[in-house]
Structure 1
Amino acid sequence: MSRTGRAAVVGRRPAAAALALLLLLTAACGSRLPESAFGSGGSAPDLATDTGVTAQEIRVGIITSLTSPVGGETFAGPHFGALAFFRALADRGGLHGRTVRLLTCDDGGSGLGNRDCVHRLVDQEKVFALVAGSVLDYAGAPYVDAHQVPDVGGQPIGTAYDRWPHLFSIYGSASPRDGRTVGWDGVLYQSTEIYRFFKERLGARSAAVVSYNQADSARYARQLEEGLRAEGYRVLSLSVDLALPGFQTVAAALKADGTELLFDAMDSRGNAALCQALDAAGVRLSAKVTNVQNWSEAVRTDYRDSPNCRNNLWATSESRNYEDTGHPSVAEFRAGMARYYPEREDQLSAWELEGWAAARWLTDAMDSCGTALTRACVERFMNRTEPYDAHGLLVPTDFTPQPRPTGPTLACLNAARWQDGAFGGRGGWVTQVPDLASACYDVPQLPYRP
């Protein structure tokens, strides 16, 4: 989900949430998790101005695959980040005198459950907007779009945010999003800034990609390999059995090859097992590269049996490191999480920060309308050409449609490395670039069909 530095996305890293590609769906619970009304105070506006807006409140929905087949924490981060933001907003008195009332729904990680959540929130609860969605199968997206419900800051696991005009992913988009086809007539583009970054930063020239012998995993791996080769890497492709992965064989192959960088198309459990095999075999990498979904405190426990591999873990994203508390917006996020969800201290993640940023984005869009809050006004804010950065939390981005890519495009990223000795010995993710606008590269745009 690559973003261009000029803010109009052209490239898009394919399938950042590799877990979503690898596992079967289960039946949905479709249950709505009630939240108390957030926000109060101030003088209430005189009129109900749109669906989900009354003189006293704004109803906003969040759909999350909290009980998905890939585990309860996999998609939970954006959910809690957004809830924390709106609770903080409540403590500041709400928005122009209105309460922001959060209505949440767990879709169980299935398309059927997602449609049920969409109908509950859109038809029954009459929400004004959706925010910070993180779901395994966004089957209800066409219904959301048909009812012109703004969906702001969702995690683009599939292709819905590259198709429907009323859906706005956390990473922006430059594709037409006309509702007819995904991307440009069914074609999306991945950019290669991640591979360029490691080539220039670490001098790496060789890489390996490990995948399961499963169709979606193999497809994602091929896209990784294509991007690496476009940047001039020598690439070793390795596949393991999904049911009985032989990671010892992989470790031996990597050691014999002298591989510098390791990428994968596997789930977190597979990655942890692979790292154990790498440590046991004495494999030394320049970097074990993971994605934003795995940029989390869970690394502390998931990789406890493979400390050497853990200290070679790098993650990339288009959002700021949640450890960078010297930045005021990160400090605000951390204070909000500590106040409202202190029990989640050991589950902090980049996705949690991005959920907070999504809530900030929707709130800034609603705030731009004053008391005359309407969906059309919110979407004018979302569709403006001025890049948005969530008060410094995101690489600046927008939703301005661009022509089909024909050449290199400027793309930026953030990167961090796990270090056990950092932060006074506590350990954590240490940012590896000076700022969000400092690691930017003119890189190729590689077409692919999702």
Structure 2
Amino acid sequence: MDRQPIQVIGGGLAGTEAAWQIAQAGVPVIFHEMRPQRYSPAHHTEHLAELVCSNSFGAMASDRAAGLLHEELRQLGSIVIAKADEHSVPAGGALAVDRGQFSQDLTETLSSHPLIDFRREEVRKIPEGIVVLATGPLTSPDLAEDLHRFTGMEYLSFFDAASPIIVGESINRDIAFLASRYDKGEAAYLNCPMNKAEYLRFREALCQGEQTELKDFERETAKFFEACLPIEELAQRGEDTMRYGPLKPVGLSDSRTGDRPYAVVQLRQEDKAGQLWNMVGFQTNLRWGEQKRIFQMIPSLENAEFVRLGVMHRNTFINAPQLMQATLQFRHNPQLLAAGQLIGTEGYTAAAAGGCLAGINAARLALGKETVTLPNTTMMGSLFEFISSASPKHFQPMPPNFGILPELGEKIKNKQERYGRYRDRALGDLKNWCSQL
């Protein structure tokens, strides 16, 4: 029997995962991506699942929130995590990827799938039938307006930003040193050390640096997302704020001298060849000329060559608690599903997780089956339960974290042991859930 194709709109991480899950269930997909016909302010390539900020999917260890989400997605056959594993680059305890190879491979894999009709076109109106919206936080204006008409609500907004990327050979290795924190795992970060005087001069320059002006409507409607603050915003919050955040020196020492710096700027490898390095935690709204001037004050980056400077843009998301079910279906139209940052989940892995569940449920609708929710003891299940049931008044994007999981039956003081128990419960419950599908 010929089935009506499901339409997936948006070729980011969520849309890519959703299209894959639907096709793997034997249901045809029309997969829409507007690039290269039209680019968002944050994208630079036409490839699927382009990583526009960091190249890291977060901690790999399964007793960390991101790592547990990785393991859950592996159990569910995630194409995004499979390709991330395949194209991983050294990043200490994090799952980071060669972003070019990662995105290109996903583009080739999905565009060659026999059940995926990949169309490079902009969708300006929500189609009829079963649809997965995965247009991300920078949905094109026409489609955003149609979604506004459908929901009757304005978008919520916050500001997000991407960190600069530096050419590896322009980094002064006489100063920068390779090390992992507490010498744990592979030494995958280049560390640029600062003494107190250097740090204070750098902080003062950040506080006084000229920023890109925000438009009036952006000032009025948007705010910073606390998990992704611009480095200059951190600098302005206090003298030591950066030293307790992205510039913390704890657990790092230069093996050449044995000294622990007063502050450290860390660089994470971007590609497998080690030719490109990302400034960890340096998302910024500084003007590009100011970025070069101020960031070259960092010891070892005095001659840094930037292949990408930091950018900042407004992200938008819907008020999911008022609109969404934990199945990722809209309450007022169960044939319309959504996933990714559009619904207020934060981070690459969470976007892939949303695409995974939205794809599974879209396929189940097409096959005449009931839609499903994941056990709330899993990181995925608790995340989607949260975004569908949180207080609508103060809703803000939520990353995966152990604080949203239901408590264990007993109190465990040791955090690592407690998180390990959360992991064991989640993966066991997910395995049982999968066996009953």
Structure showing the higher helix proportion among its residues: 2
